[in-house]
C-alpha cells in the first residue's frame, strides 16, 4: 500500500535556500531572507534597481556637461531616477532583512501605488528627455562626432522606458496580489 504525497512547507519568500545561505555543512546568516532575491518579485525589484542605477550613473557621468543645454528634462529624469532608485533599494533591503516585512508590505497599498507612480514618472521623464536630446544634443553631435553626451543620453531615455515598463508590470502584479488578499 502506498502513502499519499508528502506536503513540505517552504519558508516565506522562496525555495530551499530562503533563509540564509549554505556554507560547507551549515547555514550562515539565517536571519537574512536571501531567498527573496530569487523569487519573481525579488528579480523584478533587482532589475528595477540595477537599471535605475545605470540610468542615474550615466546621467551623472555623461550628462552633467550637457545639463544646461537640456534644461529641466535632464533634472527631471535625474530626480525620477534618484527617487525611484532610493525607494526600490530601501524596499529590497527591508525585504531581505525581514520576511515578515515582505509579507506585510505586499499586503498594503504602498507597493502597487509606488510602482504605478514610478512607471508614470519614468515614462514621462523619458519622453521629455528624448525630446530634449533630439532637439538640443543631436545638432551638436552632428558637428562634433565624438560628442559622448548624445549617444549616452539616448541610451538613458531608452533604458528609462524599459524601467518604466518594468515598474508598470510590478504595479500590475502588486495590485493583483493586493486584490487577491482582500477578496
Give CA 127 to chain center in angstroms: 19
Please check whether residue 176 lies inside any domain of the structure: yes
| Per-residue model confidence as pLDDT tens digits over 43-76 | 999 999 999 999 999 999 999 989 999 999 999 9
Give me the residue label for grid cell 543631436.
Answer: 138
In the chain, DSSP finds a helix count (H) and a strand count (E) of 7, 2
| Per-residue model confidence as pLDDT tens digits over 96-138 | 998 888 888 888 899 999 999 999 999 999 999 999 999 999 9
Which H or E element spans position 21? Answer: strand 21-23
Please check whether residue 84 lies inside any domain of the structure: yes
State how many domains the chain has: 1
Let me know: does 125 contact 76? Beta carbons within 8 Å.
Answer: yes
Please check whether residue 15 lies inside any domain of the structure: no
pLDDT band for 86, please (50, 70, 90 cuts): very high
Of 156, 168, 135, 169, the closest CA to residue 77 belongs to 156
Burial label for 20, CB within 10 Å (0-12, 13-18, 19+), is: middle
Size (the chain), residues: 183
Read off the C-alpha cell for 162.
Answer: 524599459
Which H or E element spans position 28? Answer: strand 26-28
Please check whether residue 54 lies inside any domain of the structure: yes
Please check whether residue 121 lies inside any domain of the structure: yes
Read off the C-alpha cell for 169.
Answer: 508590470
What is the rounded radius of gyration, in angstroms, for the C-alpha atoms of the chain?
Answer: 21
Please check whether residue 17 lies inside any domain of the structure: no
Please check whether residue 155 lies inside any domain of the structure: yes
Secondary structure class of 11 (helix, strand, coil): coil
- Gap between the Cα atoms of 172 and 129, Å rounded: 25
- pTM of the full structure: 0.81
Q: Angle CA(94)–CA(110)–CA(85) in degrees, nearest 5? A: 55
What is the distance between the terminal CA atoms of the chain, rounded to a whole angstrom?
A: 41
| Per-residue model confidence as pLDDT tens digits over 3-12 | 554 444 445 4
Residue 92 lies in domain? 40-182
Please check whether residue 1 lies inside any domain of the structure: no
Amino acid at each position: 500500500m502506498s502513502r499519499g504525497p508528502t506536503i513540505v512547507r517552504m519558508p516565506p519568500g522562496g525555495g530551499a535556500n530562503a533563509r540564509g545561505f549554505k556554507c560547507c555543512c551549515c547555514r550562515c546568516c539565517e536571519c537574512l531572507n536571501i531567498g527573496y532575491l530569487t523569487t519573481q518579485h525579488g528579480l523584478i525589484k533587482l532589475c528595477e534597481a540595477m537599471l535605475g542605477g545605470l540610468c542615474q550613473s550615466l546621467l551623472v557621468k555623461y550628462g552633467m556637461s550637457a545639463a544646461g543645454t537640456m534644461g529641466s528634462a535632464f533634472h527631471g529624469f535625474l530626480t525620477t531616477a534618484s527617487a525611484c532608485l532610493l525607494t526600490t533599494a530601501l524596499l529590497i533591503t527591508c525585504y531581505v532583512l525581514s520576511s515578515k516585512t515582505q509579507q506585510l508590505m505586499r499586503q498594503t497599498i504602498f507597493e502597487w501605488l509606488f510602482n504605478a507612480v514610478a512607471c508614470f514618472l519614468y515614462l514621462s521623464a523619458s519622453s521629455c528627455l528624448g525630446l530634449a536630446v533630439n532637439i538640443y544634443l543631436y545638432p551638436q553631435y552632428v558637428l562634433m562626432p565624438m560628442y559622448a553626451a548624445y549617444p549616452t543620453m539616448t541610451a538613458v531615455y531608452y533604458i528609462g522606458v524599459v524601467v518604466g515598463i518594468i515598474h508598470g508590470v510590478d504595479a500590475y502584479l502588486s495590485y493583483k496580489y493586493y486584490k487577491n488578499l482582500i477578496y
